């Protein structure tokens, strides 16, 4: 059973973000992931039921942070579908409160997006791939939905969203388990031509894909190349001005959350 952290402990722990990490065996220009600053312009909306606990992950062989958020006005979120959140190399779930993700969620729902919950756990800096006995991808595939089900969320309706290293991981997860996810949303995914995501792109057939990347981002060329090789046209391919940080990512969260909510709402046919 998870151990709930106090709000004071969360705020203290979230005081800073670690430095750069390796992502996906990419070229030297892409190895260092900048710190996600400046921060996003957080909407003037309240967080709903937002929780951060410690929980044992057998897939990772350790305790991890497990964060969830429900839009304001939806109680504990019972029955809501879930968007899984995969962090980048320089963030963890302890940063999500400071990023205002729960407030972005409430704002999206108030603007008309169908309601859903957010849920994410610590994946380390392994690009959401297994390394020895540490398998963050299996944690996301098997354990996180089970933890969500215990909370009363509808873990039969899942999407995934990630940024940078987490965007790479989100795409790879959807390729590894075709037809499992209702949508994959990737912000500035840390992809490179010839990597595992490009190699498995055909496996994304039938899964709606949204891609967002800033024009001043070093990954832009490769993200646009990925959009061209997908087996189906992305539901969104957005290249607005912005760099590789939450200053840009915060501007596209509303668009992504509206699409994710819509993808999670209709029943499977």
pLDDT digits (tens, 9 = 90+) for 153-198: 999 999 999 999 999 999 999 999 999 999 999 999 999 999 999 9
pLDDT of residue 269: 54
Q: How far apart are CA 32 and CA 247, in angstroms?
A: 18
Percent of the chain at pLDDT exceeding 90: 83
Taking only the tens place, the pLDDT of each residue in 81-113 is 999 999 999 999 999 999 999 999 999 999 999
The answer, yes or no, to whether residue 5 has pLDDT greater than 60, is: no
The answer, yes or no, to whether residue 4 has pLDDT greater than 60, is: no
Across residues 6-22, what is the average pLDDT?
35
Say if residues 256 and 187 touch (Cβ distance below 8 Å). Answer: yes
Q: Which of 53, 82, 50 is nearest to 149 (CA)?
A: 82
Taking only the tens place, the pLDDT of each residue in 39-68 is 788 999 999 999 999 999 999 999 999 999
Distances (CA, A) of 64 to 57, 82, 156, 175: 7, 19, 23, 25
pLDDT of residue 268: 61
Domain ranges of the chain: 3-264
Is residue 123 very low, low, confident or very high in pLDDT (cuts 50, 70, 90)? Answer: very high
pLDDT of residue 40: 80
Q: What DSSP element (H or E) covers 72?
A: none
> What sign does the CA torsion over 204, 92, 165, 256 have?
positive
Helices (H) and strands (E) in the chain, counts: 9, 9
Taking only the tens place, the pLDDT of each residue in 222-255 is 999 999 999 999 999 999 999 999 999 999 999 9
Distances (CA, A) of 118 to 62, 137, 221, 238: 22, 17, 29, 22
The answer, yes or no, to whether residue 26 has pLDDT greater than 70, is: no
Give domain 3-264's CATH number out of 3.90.1150.200, 3.40.50.1820, 3.40.50.2030, 3.40.50.10470.
Answer: 3.40.50.1820
22 versus 112: which is more confidently predicted? 112
Query: What residues have CB less than 8 Å from 103, skipping those under 6 apart?
Result: 42, 43, 45, 46, 47
pLDDT of residue 37: 57
pTM: 0.86
Q: How far apart are CA 126 and CA 240, in angstroms?
A: 28
Print the SS3 string covering 195-234: CHHHHCHHHHCCCCEEEECCCCCCCHHHHHHHHHHCCCCC
Q: How far apart are CA 214 and CA 221, in angstroms?
A: 10
């Amino acid at each position: 059973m998870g151990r709930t952290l106090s709000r004071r402990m969360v705020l203290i722990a979230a005081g800073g973000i670690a430095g750069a990490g390796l992502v996906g065996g990419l070229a030297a220009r892409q190895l260092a992931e900048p710190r996600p600053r400046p921060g996003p312009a957080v909407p003037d909306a309240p967080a709903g039921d937002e929780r951060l606990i410690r929980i044992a992950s057998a897939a990772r062989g350790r305790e991890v942070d497990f964060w969830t958020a429900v839009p304001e006005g939806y109680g504990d979120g019972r029955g809501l579908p879930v968007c899984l959140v995969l962090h980048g190399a320089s963030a963890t779930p302890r940063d999500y409160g400071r990023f205002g993700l729960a407030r972005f969620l409430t704002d999206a729902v108030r603007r008309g997006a169908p309601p859903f919950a957010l849920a994410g756990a610590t994946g380390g800096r392994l690009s959401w791939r297994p390394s020895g006995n540490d398998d963050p991808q299996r944690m996301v595939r098997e354990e996180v939905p089970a933890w969500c089900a215990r909370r009363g969320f509808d873990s039969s309706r899942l999407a995934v969203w990630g940024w940078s290293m987490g965007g790479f991981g989100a795409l790879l997860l959807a390729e590894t388990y075709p037809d499992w996810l209702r949508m994959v949303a990737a912000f500035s995914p840390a992809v490179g031509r010839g990597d595992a995501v490009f190699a498995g792109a055909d496996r994304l057939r039938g899964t709606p894909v949204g891609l967002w990347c800033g024009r001043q981002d070093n990954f832009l060329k490769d993200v646009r190349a990925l959009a061209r090789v997908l087996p189906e046209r992305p539901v969104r391919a957005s290249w607005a001005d912005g760099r590789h940080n939450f200053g840009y990512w915060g501007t596209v969260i509303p668009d992504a959350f509206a699409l994710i909510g819509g993808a999670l709402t209709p029943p499977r046919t």
